[in-house]
Amino acid sequence: MNIEGKHLIIDAFDCNPDLLNSKDYLELLMLQAANDNGMQVLSSYFHPFHPQGVTGVLVLSTSHMLIHTWPEENYASLDYYTCGDADPEFQTRSLLRGLGAKRALVYTVSRGVNGTQLIFPKEIFVYDTSKGGDSK
């Protein structure tokens, strides 16, 4: 059995606070990302906090997807891990667009690898108004 996997840790900034506070919307967004990447969802649980914020988890047959939101800060933290063949990076931009994020830091960690890793974030600008669209 192959134990190697890919783990993305995402800090999403300048998100839409209304979207970050919608439990139902966030669950649909995460389910769509998992389904679009061919992942089997075993369980889904999303909990709203009062007065604001949501924490949600998808348990996947190949691992998990998590989200924690702080609408008052326009911030979301995501954790996307898979030990299967699916590449979690495939859905990163889609998830960020779905949150209305303007910018994100994405940390990629190789799991199950026997050795030291240096981990640096990749900065993504999801929407740049000066260019009228995606910035690479």
Out of 44, 64, 68, 77, the active site residue is 68
CA dihedral (35, 37, 38, 42) in degrees, to 10, reads -50
Asked about 15 being catalytic, the answer comes back as: no
Question: Which of 7, 15, 22, 63 does the annotation list as catalytic?
Answer: 63
List, as one string, the DSSP characters of 96-131: HHHHT-SEEEEEEEEES--S------EEEE--BTTT
| Alpha-carbon span 89 to 86, nearest angstrom | 9
Question: Which is the catalytic residue, given 7, 15, 22, 83?
Answer: 83
Q: Is the dihedral of CA 62, 85, 123, 18 positive or negative?
A: negative
The answer to whether 64 is a known catalytic residue is: no
Burial (CB < 10 A; 0-12, 13-18, 19+), residue 48, is middle
Q: Based on the residue annotation, tell me whether 68 is a catalytic residue of this protein.
A: yes
- Which sequence positions are flagged as catalytic? 63, 68, 83
